[in-house]
Structure 1
Amino acid sequence: MSFGFLGIQFGFALQGGFMSRIFQTLGAEKDAIPLLWIAAPLTGLLVQPIIGYLSDRTWSPRWGRRRPYFLIGAILSSIALFLVPHSPALWIAAGFLWILDASINISMEPFRALVADKLPDSQRSYGFVTQTLIIGIGTWIASNLPWLISQMGVSDGAPTGVVPMSVKVAFAIGALVFLISILYTVFTTSEYPPEDMEEFEKEKKQKNKFVSDILNNIGSMPLTMKKLGLIQFFSWFAFFTMWSLANPALTEHIFKTPVPIESAYNMDVPESVIAFETANTAFQKASNNVGRYMGVYGLSSMAFALLLTFYTSRKRINRKWVHMVSLILGGIGFISMYYIPSPQWLTFSFSLIGLAWGSILSMPYAMLSSSVDPKKMGVIMGIFNMFIVIPQIIAALGGVNFAYKLIGDETINAMIVAGISLIIAGLCNVLITNKDAITYNPKEAI
């Protein structure tokens, strides 16, 4: 039932690893990149609560409750993934990011609810960690695609303002994997019907309750959910900073190959044209390597999730302490980027970040699902997404630029800000006191 997340993560990894590169290739200034990314959190803020609410009120004997949304999102996401690297202008690429992120969110939110729908409380840590394992596989493979395709002989060079063919091929492969993996889940996974079908049909017929229901659920969210929201705020501020600024930060600070500015070259002189093309190809190859190293955090999260999968299938874990330690280690990974002497050390940095990522994708959802009404799981998961998208919106509207420039003008300082933010998120775990959220003993459930 979680296999479709492989495709979703192909979409997210290609978006997270290479969207800033596409923006830079199309002429975006590095300080404008976070604002161009605002499409991602804004669409999540709007789409996820709506899809969660609608999927809670959907039932088809053939298609179930969540699967129709998987399928719609997969078709739209695959189309957007294929088209985005072919954007001829910056504003078109930004528009495709809106479509892509909205479509991915249509598929993603019901996947979270599906795990909670189908698994008893005793298996939810196991279920969300297994989902994280699949996400890690997708992150690693997708992040390596442009580099791998380049190694196979596909060109990294391209005229000014044109995305290289290696990136276009990678996004096309991602679109295909997205669609196939979602179709696999749709056609091989069954769903449980509502326990009380008569009451379910009665609730479906009630109209004009959408906004009031959303607001009521926001107003009555459990205290544990609010505390988890604070942790999520600092966690996702950190990762948005990485996705939007890692490419300019690392190509400049680690690889010493910043994106060339065409106005700095006399394009009427053949030697200057050659120099520009050489610098641009070097930037594109460095960007391939940034994506490849970013894939390490997917591999690391996969290994971490694998260990947790084996452990949580047999014994209980303290979700609070696992999440705290993982986030702090991830913060150290971000900060280490400023000090590493060569690109090879990025493997170490992103390995630590992967521990945080693996925990972010599992522990908060396991803690939350043990603290809310199962009948409202879809809408609650959608509302919980607010604590993911609000920090990203704040970061995109200037928060990340303001924060890192308090340290210095170099873009690498954004990675230090991400590290500090992740450490704060880890320390906020001391606020979680709900025993059901912190741990669940499988033996006590038998």
Structure 2
Amino acid sequence: MSFGFLGIQFGFALQNGNMSRIFETMGAQEDKLAFLWIAAPTTGLLVQPIIGYLSDRTWSPRWGRRRPFFLIGAILASLALIVMPHVSALWMAAGMLWIMDSSINISMEPFRALVGDLLPSNQRTAGFGFQTFFIGIGAVVGSLLPYIYTNWLHFSNVAPAGQIAPSLKYAFYTGGIVYFIAVAWTVFTTKEYPPVDMAEFEAEKRRTAGFWNGVKESFAGIADMPRTMRQLAVVQFFSWLALFSMWIYATPAITSHIYHTSDTTSKLYNEGADWVNVCFSVYNGVSALAALALPAVARATSRRVTHLICLTAGGLGLISIYFIQNPQMLLVSMIGVGIAWASILSIPYAMLAGALPSNKMGYYMGVFNFFIVLPQMLASVTLGFFTKQVFGGNSALTLVLGGCSMILSGLLTLRVHDADDIRLPNNLTPAENLAYEASLADANPNV
């Protein structure tokens, strides 16, 4: 059920590692990069809750509930990845980012809900952890693709001003193909379970049918969030603010602060930009391994303490970039970022799933995405100002700001009420699991 995330992460890895590079190639100034990235959070804000709402109300005997959205999103995202390296102007690059990110969000959001649908509560931390493992593997290879095409397959990584280098073009082509194949594997091999009461399901679907009703319900859901979800929302806000600062400013920070160039047509700049992709592959590889260890750490401590430890490691990793001049040492910084990334992709969702009603899993997972995209929107409109006016154009200091934000989010995790603590046994029999679910329902009115 999680294999499709390997392909989705090819798309996100290529986007996160290379869009600033593409924007700069098309002539964007460094302090305008954050604003150009606003497409990513805006499309997530609009698409994910609506797709979650609609998928909750979808059922096909052949295609199930979530899988139709996987397939539609995969087709659109794969096409967008193949078209992206053919842009020839800054406005085209920004527009294609809107299309690509919207398509990725269509296929990504239901994957979170699928794990909540199909796994009992005592398996969810492991389920989201395994999902993170596939995310890590996909992101490692996806991030390395430009480097592989340049250094192993000997495609040129430089091009005339305003053109995308051949190595980056073929990296995007490969990402589009892998994206579709991986998601299609999940679509055609995963079985979903029908609603328990089909008549009640159909009645609810008729009562709440309609696209605009989905829009209204999605935004109204912010006011009705369960307590755990409200507490996690604040944690998500600061951790994703940190991540977005890294994705926007890692390339200009590393090329200018360590490689000492901002000339996008120079060999040295493109070597630095390729090394950013290597760094991103390292943090994603670390996250794939760390994700497998998270359930054991959470059993030994708690999910809240585990998240605090991981986010602190990530924050220190981002801050350390400011003090580095040797590109090789950046890989050490990325170890901390990878540990944080593993936890961000799994622990909050595992805590959240135990606090949500099962018939609104997709809907609330989509609403929860607001607190990923709102900090990204804030980053898009403020980080350019901070970089230029406060930090004097030193984008490495913007990464320091992101590191501080990540550590703060870890401290805020300690106030989250986790109704479904992972320290309970993971090897319950079916009868014991039912009893455990019943006890949760008695103890927590949100379940």
TM-score for the superposition, normalised by structure 2: 0.92
Q: CA deviation at 1:215?
A: 4.4
Provide the rounded CA distance (Å) in 1 between the counterparts of 2:383 and 2:423.
35
Where 1:160 maps in the other structure, the secondary structure is coil
Task: Tell me if 1:382 matches 2:335.
Answer: no
Q: Once structures 1 and 2 are overlaid, which stretch shifts more, 203-212 or 99-108?
A: 203-212
Task: Tell me if 1:301 matches 2:302.
Answer: no
Partner of 1:186: 187
* Cα contact 2:74–2:180 (8 A) shared by 1: yes
Provide the rounded CA distance (Å) in 2 between the counterparts of 1:155 and 1:13.
20
Partner of 2:438: none
Partner of 1:249: 253
Partner of 1:77: 77
| 1:285-340 CA distance string (max 9 Å, x none) | 2211111112111011011012236777xx57611011011001100000000112
* Cα contact 1:366–1:437 (8 A) shared by 2: no
Q: CA deviation at 1:369?
A: 0.3
Q: CA deviation at 1:203?
A: 1.0
Q: CA deviation at 1:374?
A: 1.0
Partner of 1:49: 49
Task: Tell me if 1:418 matches 2:381.
Answer: no
Q: CA deviation at 1:205?
A: 1.2
Cα distance change of structure 1 residues 106 and 248 upon mapping to structure 2, 3 Å threshold: same
* Cα contact 2:319–2:403 (8 A) shared by 1: yes
Provide the rounded CA distance (Å) in 1 between the counterparts of 2:231 and 2:19.
32
Partner of 2:232: 228
Provide the rounded CA distance (Å) in 1 between the counterparts of 2:69 and 2:325.
46
Cα distance change of structure 1 residues 403 and 321 upon mapping to structure 2, 3 Å threshold: farther
Cα distance change of structure 1 residues 228 and 249 upon mapping to structure 2, 3 Å threshold: same
**Partner amino acid for 1:149?**
Y
Q: Which runs of 5+ in 1 are unaligned?
A: 261-276
TM-score for the superposition, normalised by structure 1: 0.92
Where 2:325 maps in the other structure, the secondary structure is coil
| 1:43-93 CA distance string (max 9 Å, x none) | 000000100000000000000000000000000000000111110101001
Task: Tell me if 1:333 matches 2:337.
Answer: no
Task: Tell me if 1:162 matches 2:163.
Answer: yes
Partner of 2:101: 101
Where 2:200 maps in the other structure, the secondary structure is helix
Partner of 2:444: none
Provide the rounded CA distance (Å) in 1 between the counterparts of 2:91 and 2:281.
27
Where 1:380 maps in the other structure, the secondary structure is helix
Aligned with residue 334 of structure 2, among 328, 339, 350: 350
Q: CA deviation at 1:219?
A: 1.7
Cα distance change of structure 1 residues 84 and 51 upon mapping to structure 2, 3 Å threshold: same
Where 1:431 maps in the other structure, the secondary structure is coil
Provide the rounded CA distance (Å) in 2 between the counterparts of 1:317 and 1:325.
11
* Cα contact 2:116–2:124 (8 A) shared by 1: yes
Provide the rounded CA distance (Å) in 1 between the counterparts of 2:426 and 2:54.
32
Write the mapping of 1:186-225 to structure 2, written as runs, cut at 5 A.
186-206=187-207, 207=209, 209-225=213-229
Q: CA deviation at 1:216?
A: 4.4
* Cα contact 1:249–1:412 (8 A) shared by 2: yes
Cα distance change of structure 1 residues 305 and 413 upon mapping to structure 2, 3 Å threshold: same
Provide the rounded CA distance (Å) in 2 between the counterparts of 1:286 and 1:227.
39
Partner of 1:283: 269
Count of residues in Structure 1 that have an aligned counterpart in Structure 2: 426
Q: Which runs of 5+ in 2 are unaligned?
A: 434-447
Q: CA deviation at 1:15?
A: 0.1
Partner of 1:429: 413
**Partner amino acid for 2:224?**
S
Cα distance change of structure 1 residues 405 and 328 upon mapping to structure 2, 3 Å threshold: farther
* Cα contact 1:248–1:258 (8 A) shared by 2: yes
**Partner amino acid for 1:172?**
Y
Partner of 2:88: 88
Where 2:404 maps in the other structure, the secondary structure is helix
**Partner amino acid for 1:129?**
G
Provide the rounded CA distance (Å) in 1 between the counterparts of 2:424 and 2:98.
39
Provide the rounded CA distance (Å) in 2 between the counterparts of 1:427 and 1:339.
24
Partner of 1:173: 174
Cα distance change of structure 1 residues 376 and 439 upon mapping to structure 2, 3 Å threshold: farther
Where 2:323 maps in the other structure, the secondary structure is coil
* Cα contact 2:232–2:416 (8 A) shared by 1: yes
Cα distance change of structure 1 residues 54 and 70 upon mapping to structure 2, 3 Å threshold: same
Q: CA deviation at 1:211?
A: 4.3
**Partner amino acid for 1:9?**
Q
**Partner amino acid for 1:175?**
G
Q: Percent identity?
A: 50
* Cα contact 1:371–1:437 (8 A) shared by 2: no
Task: Tell me if 1:38 matches 2:38.
Answer: yes
Where 1:109 maps in the other structure, the secondary structure is helix
Q: CA deviation at 1:259?
A: 2.4
**Partner amino acid for 1:299?**
G
Q: CA deviation at 1:411?
A: 1.2
Partner of 2:443: none
| 1:77-113 CA distance string (max 9 Å, x none) | 0000011111010100100000000000000000000
**Partner amino acid for 1:96?**
M
Provide the rounded CA distance (Å) in 2 between the counterparts of 1:70 and 1:175.
14
Q: Once structures 1 and 2 are overlaid, which stretch shifts more, 386-395 or 215-224?
A: 215-224
Write the mapping of 1:350-369 to structure 2, written as runs, cut at 5 A.
350-369=334-353
Provide the rounded CA distance (Å) in 2 between the counterparts of 1:237 and 1:311.
25
* Cα contact 2:141–2:281 (8 A) shared by 1: yes
